[in-house]
Amino acid sequence: MSPQPSSGNENNLATGLRVPQEPDDPDFPEQRVALYRYLVVAERIAACTFLVGTLGLIILQVVSRYIFNTPFTWTEELARFALLWFTFVSAGFVMARRIHIAVDIVASKLGRRGTVVLDTFALLMVIIASGMMAYAGAGFAAEAARLQAPATSLPMSLVYSSAVTGFVLICFHALVHMYLNIRHPELVPDAMENLEREAV
């Protein structure tokens, strides 16, 4: 049995880091820092909880309306709030694992150094944009604290806080990845490697 060929980019013996091959594989920071890994796992569990909760609330609304003919007044509103939280918490998890949709046309034409520079620049733009959105969202959430949702009487600041939480997570994960790009540029996968991995 002949040994399987391995790519130099898949494993780096000097740093002990391994390039993840699947979305479920821990990313580089997760392999090095346990606290960061726990944060990413918590984001994933929270996103799954909000998704299942949204589905359960919708089913409860359908059953109460069409079977018992006495629909609840709060299920639809609470389902919308849960969907908002699911969306923004999931955005943080996607940024942590770097499995968001990306256009690699330009990166595929660049060399190794150009790919790292372009990826770092893109992360910088994400940090600036998400930081501004988190700051603006915090202001909206503070102003909405005196307002209440009509059906559940929950403070509307709880709804706006979902966006703040999501953008803070995105900004934090982008900072981590930009730091990793600077310290370990050899671990940034090439655009063509990403395309080949997605095609498998």
According to the model, what pLDDT value does residue 146 have? 86
According to the model, what pLDDT value does residue 189 have? 59
Burial class for 93, CB neighbours closer than 10 Å (0-12, 13-18, 19+): buried
Sequence length of the chain is 200
According to the model, what pLDDT value does residue 199 have? 42
Question: How many Cβ atoms from other residues are within 10 Å of residue 81's Cβ?
Answer: 20
According to the model, what pLDDT value does residue 196 have? 42
Residue, of 135 and 154, whose pLDDT is higher: 135
Burial class for 151, CB neighbours closer than 10 Å (0-12, 13-18, 19+): middle
Each domain of the chain, given as residue ranges in start order, spans 27-199
According to the model, what pLDDT value does residue 12 have? 43
According to the model, what pLDDT value does residue 69 have? 83
Distance CA(181)–CA(115), nearest Å, equals 10
Helix (H) or strand (E) holding 133: helix 112-143
The answer to whether the beta carbons of residues 162 and 92 sit under 8 Å apart is no
Computed over every residue of the chain, the mean pLDDT equals 80
- pTM of the predicted model, to two decimals? 0.78
- Grade residue 125 by pLDDT with cuts at 50, 70 and 90: very high
Provide mean pLDDT across the span 161-189: 88
